[in-house]
Amino acid sequence: MSKLLICDDDKGIRRTLQLHLESQGHQVETAADAESGIRLAQGYQPDIIILDICMQGLSGIDALPRFKAISPNSRIIMITAFQDMQSTISAMQNGADEYLHKPIDLDEFDQAIATALAQHLAVQNQDSLDTLCVPDTFGNSMVGASNAMKQVYKTIGRIAHTKASVLITGESGTGKEMVARAIHQAGMPAQAPFVALNCAALVDNLLESELFGHKKGAFTGAVSDQAGKFALAQGGTLFLDEVGELSAQIQAKLLRVLQEKTYTPLGSKTEYKADVRIISATNLNFEQAIKEKRFREDLYYRLQVVQIELPSLLERKEDLKELVPALLYRANKELGTKISKITKSAMDLLMDYHWPGNVRELENTLIKAVALCPSALLTEDLFADIKNKLDTQAKDEAYQVQPHKQDSSLQQIEYTHVKQVLSQVNNHKGKACEILQISRPRLQRILEREE
């Protein structure tokens, strides 16, 4: 049984909500104005306060901080007949947990009560909390202590001081750019430049000029000399993001630069020395791209003197233990919030999800939850999107398993395969036997079995 307090000057509403809540087994007290509500709440310490905004005397908005002060563990649901944005905003800013409009929709009301109770319970039941140590400071260093990430750190340490080109591969959002910066920081003097270029973002002409620079008048619109990324990165690191997207033409030019260690700006006759470490990144399957002649093999070997493959988050879920606090620290800093805890059920939800967008998706999910979080505690309901996706994922899996089940005995697979081969050879049974490497009678038997 939970303790609720309804504070509303409308007798009808007090009565209706009280009966509704009592019928669900809750204990309910009521107050007709804010002052008496505050007095009542002090001793009663309700789990949830349902607070009207527009009341005689002290308004709900003005009473809100006082309710919070005398009954800090109460969840507060505001209700009002006014649909104005400003009161909604101030209510939420002052620490209301939910805001409902009159006339009250009972389904919506029940949902709000359920959520508020869950949050209240989570706060009360401290054992069920994963109290996270959100660190006080947090640099730009990578976190995650899984074996897979330890290997990555080791490789970074081993190769940072060499000039070897590095190719970083991994699904999107796995931290490729972070690794590139980490290699740069570990291996280069502090003042050395780190210059990044997204190879997928520009059309060829622009990309070429962006990479190598151009002289005034080299093409229409080239109104002055312009240094390229190679010049800017001189003595430091050039990070080529999405390098798999380079066109054949630029691939050829880049290869020449890497072989000869010199480059020529567009419209110039002078060759410049390229003293630049190249780190590139891609989420492309290079072997496939090379096979399909979309990427030059010789350039690939120049780029991947060292290759670092970043594991997906799915392969290292244990890293969530460190990633969540670190990303929460960043979210707090960005949003000016102070979230330091997450309930166990919320953390379990994050652990169950498959994170196709990897760390970036986790980061966005946490920022969103932090922005919507009414207290210092992240609860499961703040991750509704993830929960929905998890449910869909579960349904998809169940769906995929079904037709399999119906068609998974060896005999059935054999029959289906034989039928497929037959249709490929226009029912020529001799040819089918040759392909399947079986005798004619056996083919016949397989076909008869199912027909």
Interacting residues toward Mg ion by CB under 5 A: 177
Nearer to ligand ATP, 120 or 176 (CB): 176
Nearer to ligand ATP, 174 or 237 (CB): 174
Choose among ligand ATP, Mg ion, none what residue 172 binds, the Cβ cut-off being 5 to 8 Å by kind.
Answer: ligand ATP
Residues in touch with ligand ATP (CB under 6 A): 142-144, 170, 172-178, 283, 323, 326, 359-360, 363
E strands within 221-271?
Answer: 237-241, 262-263
Choose among Mg ion, ligand ATP, none what residue 178 binds, the Cβ cut-off being 5 to 8 Å by kind.
Answer: ligand ATP
CA distances in angstroms from 399 to 28, 396, 413, listed in the order given? 45, 5, 19
CB 284, min distance to ligand ATP, A:
10
Choose among ligand ATP, Mg ion, none what residue 359 binds, the Cβ cut-off being 5 to 8 Å by kind.
Answer: ligand ATP
* Largest distance between two CA atoms of the chain: 96
Query: Tokens 């669900």 sit at which residue?
Result: 24
Q: What is the DSSP string of 290-306?
A: HHTTSS-HHHHHHHTSE
CB 143, min distance to ligand ATP, A:
4
CB 283, min distance to Mg ion, A:
8
Contacts of 168 (CB under 8 A, 6+ apart): 176, 179, 180, 279, 280, 281, 282, 307, 308, 309, 310
Nearer to ligand ATP, 171 or 208 (CB): 171
CB 159, min distance to ligand ATP, A:
18
Nearer to ligand ATP, 210 or 241 (CB): 241
335: left (phi over 0), alpha (psi -120 to 50) or beta: alpha
- Nearest residue to ligand ATP by CB is 175
Beta carbons within 10 angstroms of residue 388's beta carbon: 10
418 burial class (0-12, 13-18, 19+ CB within 10 angstroms)? buried
CB 180, min distance to ligand ATP, A:
8
Asked if 331 and 339 touch (Cβ cutoff 8 Å), the reply is yes
CB 115, min distance to ligand ATP, A:
29
Choose among Mg ion, ligand ATP, none what residue 142 binds, the Cβ cut-off being 5 to 8 Å by kind.
Answer: ligand ATP
Nearer to Mg ion, 310 or 370 (CB): 310
CB 323, min distance to ligand ATP, A:
6
Closest CA to 360 of 183, 172, 201: 172
CB 31, min distance to Mg ion, A:
55
Choose among Mg ion, ligand ATP, none what residue 265 binds, the Cβ cut-off being 5 to 8 Å by kind.
Answer: none
Nearer to ligand ATP, 75 or 184 (CB): 184
Nearer to ligand ATP, 26 or 176 (CB): 176
Nearer to Mg ion, 177 or 361 (CB): 177
Choose among ligand ATP, Mg ion, none what residue 173 binds, the Cβ cut-off being 5 to 8 Å by kind.
Answer: ligand ATP
Helix (H, G, I), strand (E, B) or coil at 256: helix
CA distances in angstroms from 224 to 155, 213, 231, 264, 382, listed in the order given? 42, 11, 16, 16, 52
Closest CA to 170 of 371, 311, 19: 311
Pairwise CA distance, residues 196 & 78, whole Å? 49
Structure tokens at 156: 């970074």
Choose among Mg ion, ligand ATP, none what residue 283 binds, the Cβ cut-off being 5 to 8 Å by kind.
Answer: ligand ATP
Choose among ligand ATP, Mg ion, none what residue 279 binds, the Cβ cut-off being 5 to 8 Å by kind.
Answer: none
CB 173, min distance to Mg ion, A:
8
Asked if 329 and 134 touch (Cβ cutoff 8 Å), the reply is yes
Nearer to ligand ATP, 265 or 325 (CB): 325
CB 304, min distance to ligand ATP, A:
16
Query: Tokens 């905004």 sit at which residue?
Result: 53
CA distances in angstroms from 19 to 12, 23, 81, 111, 163, listed in the order given? 11, 6, 21, 17, 75
Nearer to ligand ATP, 53 or 199 (CB): 199
Choose among ligand ATP, Mg ion, none what residue 175 binds, the Cβ cut-off being 5 to 8 Å by kind.
Answer: ligand ATP
Choose among Mg ion, ligand ATP, none what residue 244 binds, the Cβ cut-off being 5 to 8 Å by kind.
Answer: none
Pairing assessment for the beta strands 272-273 and 262-263 based on DSSP bridges: antiparallel
Calculate ∠ Cα 121-331-365, nearest 5°.
70
